[in-house]
Chains A and B, each alone.
Chain A
Amino acid sequence: MLRCDDYYLPATLDEAFDLIERFPGEHRIIAGGTDLLPWAREGRAGDVHIPVLIDISRVAEMRGQKAQDGRIRLGANTTFAEFLKDPFLKRHLPVMAHAAIWFADDQLRAAATLAGNLVNGSPAGDGIPPMVAMEGSVVLESRKDGKRHTRTVPVADFIQGPGKTLLEPGELMTAIECDDMEGWGSAFEKVGHRRSLVISTCCVAALVKVDWATRRFADVRLAIGAVGPVPCRAKELEQSLIGQPVTAETIRSLSDRTAGFVRSRSRQEYRRKVLASFVERALGDALDELGIAPVSQPVHGEERLHA
């Protein structure tokens, strides 16, 4: 049971900081509440008393999304539902729609924010691998002596370990930024005990860009979640694909190089098997989104690809 003595819904960032200053050490920030409320239950934190809850979901400055200089800026109140519905987001961040469909269910997605997912920092947080893959960074703001301080931290650094982040007391995550991925093919693979409302046992986010003239991988982004203490980017695997022809063999050649990512202590063998095939399938699905099928031909079959 989560208990509080007061509940505030600030409408602006300044109002939010006023409250943070008024209740130092006595408050907790709440966004969608989908991590906070289940946490305060038997078997986890049990009954928790937090004197003041500051609900930031109506802070105007934390809403909305925009494109600038090849990056996309997402207000911290962006929910997972928006990634599925919003045409702008679907176009610029296609992988987030795939991640969102696997995230919880319709109803949770309507409340749950990407920011909350990042602050929660779960090894199985489904929002993290795509953000790591897209060079995501978080915008953290605080106010001291009436002055705002802003810092921007890469997501990969921000999440330090299970549930551990660089967020300082009094700081708010006001936005998330990442590369504009318009025109990339993308995919998200996830497995858990069931389809809906399930914690990932293993998940993979993949994004690909293809050089249409040569039919080679122009760029690749690959990130892996739920198999180690923090989701991580697979840069070596990305590098080994860039410049290579789009063939089933090239993709398959990655399969025996994924095992090292599995650092979780439980279900290791299962995770290794799944991860190897997820990487293969994610790349295939991402290519499929671009309308290109990897041809099962060795490299010398390239001419036929051009034909």
Chain B
Amino acid sequence: MPKITIQTTVNGRSVSKDVDPSLRLLDFLREELYLTGAKEGCGAGECGTCSVFVDGVLMKSCLMPAGKAQGTTIETVEGLAERNRLTVLQQAFHKTGASQCGYCIPGMVMAATSCLRGNPHASLDEIKEHLGGNICRCTGYSKIFEAVELARDVLNGSVPATALQEDAFKDSFLGANVRRLDAPSKVTGALKYAGDMTMPGMLHLQVLRSPHAHARIVSLDTSEAERMPGVEAVVTSADVPGVDGYGVFIHDQPVLARGKVRFVGDAVAAIAAETVAQARDALEKIKVVYEELPAVFDAEEAMKPGAPLVHEGNTDNICQHIPIRKGNIEDGFAKADVILEETFRTQRVEHAYLEPEAGLAYVEPDGTVTIHSPSQNITHHRHMLAHILAMPINKVRMIMSPVGGGFGGKEDMIYQGILALAAIKSRRPVRYVFTREESILVSAKRHPFVMRLRMGLTKDGRITATHMHSISDGGAYALSTPGVMRKHCILGAGPYEIDNVRIDAYGIYTNNTPSGAFRTFGAMQSLFATESMMDMAAEKLGLDPFEIRRINAMRDGAVTHTQQKLGSVSMLQVLDTLEKGSRWQPGVPNGRGATRDDLGGPGTRAPCTLGVRLRDTSDVAAE
């Protein structure tokens, strides 16, 4: 392989290395120098997890060929602070709780450092502008801005350094501002996520994925790929020794496609090779003959008789139907003065955690298969994998690496099985790191729903009946669909006293990307419908939206629609707090004309503006 020599100074140390000219600066730092503080969140310059200083200027190292580093001076997050100490900015991040999953944090710290080095008095607007190239999915940025402002004030002397110390607290942690134990490892870039881990002799895995939404695999020939340089193992479904299938509730997903593919991105075969590039080259030599099958991309279409069957062996495409019945809705609607009816739709959503899926697997001397991955469900994964590998459970070890954002999206065992098979077959440690594109292509999405909701109310705002009929696209495999349908129904009618409730949720198989767990697990969708309907009902009945909710709110001792007796119910307190906090202007929403008084003002966040720097023209004048 051709090499180029890179000579640079990295964190004060001069470095000279012969490397693959295809490396980017990010790869050079991570793979050659083991400086894994800079991360690869997207590989396309969009997210800022890879930010480093090059000759004092902050750059995105994923867009910089390593060749460009020739003769430069590089500073990474590891170089900011002396060993076992934190910079003021890092301490401020620690203090304010600015690091949650932590994956964006090294980049954030770098961007904030760059901002304050440039202007020790940067205003909040300017701070926001300088952090514009760095994305965080956990914090909503508030804590991060708070940290940068705190650091700025300590650095420019307007606030004493003691402000960086942990707040004092007495007997209870509740309500106290307690610092995260793992924050120092995050703000310094020391924490190792799965993709940051390496082992001697480690191979790199890449996966061949289906270009078709629904197709039969007529033949799969890996012989040429096996002979490609660097290839140590090729795995297919034929390598599964045990009972193939996983899923959070229904084990309907094979580790690698078995006879057919069900969505674009379905894993077909995998290759472990000495380098990622070799594994990718070898993937191209796998010969798959597909016979395309009619596919179905719409949940309602998929429910019709004669629709293409996503899982043969089933009689229809219904993955899960959850019905809830309480009282008698016909009676309820008969008592209503008004009946509202509406169809609500929600879309698929990608979790977009900053850390793409990654894992490292190896076989220990006693035969134990060990997998490090940011799995949100290690115990269940372990059980499933033991069945798949036909191994006793004590020979399967799942280690949860730090999760660089999950939000439900890392509950599914979509790659750990492949890693295990590759490690067993190659007898070497194997690492697999998704690209951002791959993560978006194959990871589960929030369930899209179509919800037809009928609600009956009396003139004074009391709900007499609720009837919701929901259909959701669960995609090609079940993943969390059964649970999501259940939660959708259980919480769907809202925290309201309603005598007559009927809810049906259908999770449907289609040839789309699988839907899975995502914060609120299906409840947000049904509550979007119910709460929207509450506002519409308020308008219709001439009531204040808070009032109509108070009229119907569950109170202490209420029994939920699924017959769970509740002790205390805080619904009324929540409403009061919200009303006060939002400075709500009372009245019917559609009765106050075009303007309202409760938007903007203190406590609301102004939109970001650009160009604060341009308004300061002192340097032009000085020229």
Contact = CB atoms under 8 A, between A and B. Distances in A.
Contacts of A4: 21-22, 65
Contacts of B181: none
Contacts of B43: 41
A282 to B, nearest CB: 13
A37 B280 CA distance: 17
A88 B623 CA distance: 8
B68 A33 contact: yes
Given A37-B63, A41-B435, A87-B619, A5 B133 contact: no
A33 B65 contact: yes
A42 B436 CA distance: 9
Contact of A111 (B64, B114, B611): B64
Interface in B23-70: 24, 43-46, 48, 51, 57-60, 62-68, 70
B59 A5 contact: no
Nearest to B132: A196
B610 interface: yes
A55 B611 CA distance: 31
A7 B65 contact: yes
B6 to A, nearest CB: 9
A184 interface: no
A101 B622 CA distance: 21
B438 interface: yes
A195 interface: yes
Interface in B430-445: 435, 437-438
Given A9-B67, A37-B24, A195 B610 contact: yes
A38 B45 contact: yes
Contacts of A5: 2, 21
Contacts of B130: 106
Given A34-B63, A91-B620, A106-B114, A7 B21 contact: yes
Nearest to A102: B610
Given A30-B65, A33-B68, A47-B280, A104 B133 contact: yes
B435 A91 contact: no
A88 to B, nearest CB: 7
Contacts of A104: 45, 133
Contact of A101 (B68, B70, B613): B613
A147 to B, nearest CB: 30
A190 B332 CA distance: 53
B59 A110 contact: yes
B51 A107 contact: yes
A246 to B, nearest CB: 22
Interface residues of A, number: 42
B51, B67, B129 pick with most chain A CB within 10 angstroms? B67
Interface string A107-130: 110110000000000000000000
A57 interface: yes
Contacts, number: 121
Interface string B592-622: 0000000000000000101101100101101
B67 A2 contact: no
A299 interface: no
B159 interface: no
B124 interface: no
B4 A6 contact: yes
A3 B45 contact: no
B610 A101 contact: yes
Contact of B2 (A6, A42, A47, A91): A6
Contacts of A3: 22, 277
Contacts of B277: 1, 3
Interface string B257-286: 000000000000000000011001000000
Contact of B437 (A42, A107, A110, A111): A42
A90 B611 CA distance: 13
Interface string A1-36: 111111111000000000000000000001011100
A254 interface: no
B65 A53 contact: yes
A45 interface: no
A171 interface: no
Contacts of A53: 21, 65, 67
A197 interface: yes
Given A87-B619, A197-B132, A107 B60 contact: yes
Contacts of B57: 81, 110
A102 B70 CA distance: 30
B438 A42 contact: yes
A15 to B, nearest CB: 14
Nearest to B621: A87
Nearest to B70: A9
A2 to B, nearest CB: 7
B322 to A, nearest CB: 35
A260 interface: no
A286 to B, nearest CB: 13
B620 A111 contact: no
A97 B622 CA distance: 17
Contact of B613 (A1, A38, A84, A196): A84
A97 B60 CA distance: 21
Contacts of A7: 4, 21, 65-67
A87 B63 contact: no
A56 B272 CA distance: 37
B584 to A, nearest CB: 29
Interface string A41-63: 11100010000010101000000
Nearest to B440: A43
A55 B46 contact: no
A7 B24 CA distance: 11
A87 B65 contact: no
B195 to A, nearest CB: 16
Contact of A108 (B2, B22, B45, B111): B45
Contact of A1 (B22, B59, B132, B622): B22
Contact of A107 (B2, B58, B65, B622): B58
Contacts of B24: 37
A107 B59 contact: yes
B307 to A, nearest CB: 29
A33 B62 CA distance: 10
Nearest to B618: A87
A302 interface: no
Contacts of B610: 101-102, 195
A288 B364 CA distance: 70
A271 interface: no
A2 B22 contact: yes
A240 to B, nearest CB: 28
A221 interface: no
Contacts of A272: none
A21 to B, nearest CB: 20
A38 B42 CA distance: 10
B45 A34 contact: yes
Nearest to B58: A107
Given A5-B21, A111-B64, A197-B46, A41 B437 contact: yes
7 contacts: A37-B24, A53-B65, A53-B67, A84-B613, A107-B60, A196-B129, A197-B46
The 7 closest A-B pairs by CB, nearest first: A105-B133, A196-B132, A7-B67, A42-B437, A87-B623, A3-B22, A7-B21
Given A41-B43, A87-B620, A107-B133, 9 more contacts: A4-B21, A34-B63, A38-B63, A90-B619, A90-B620, A91-B623, A101-B613, A110-B57, A111-B59
Interface of B: 2, 4, 21-22, 24, 43-46, 48, 51, 57-60, 62-68, 70, 111, 114, 129-130, 132-133, 276-277, 280, 435, 437-438, 608, 610-611, 613-614, 617, 619-620, 622-623
Interface of A: 1-9, 30, 32-34, 37-38, 41-43, 47, 53, 55, 57, 81, 84, 87-88, 90-91, 97-98, 101-102, 104-108, 110-111, 195-197
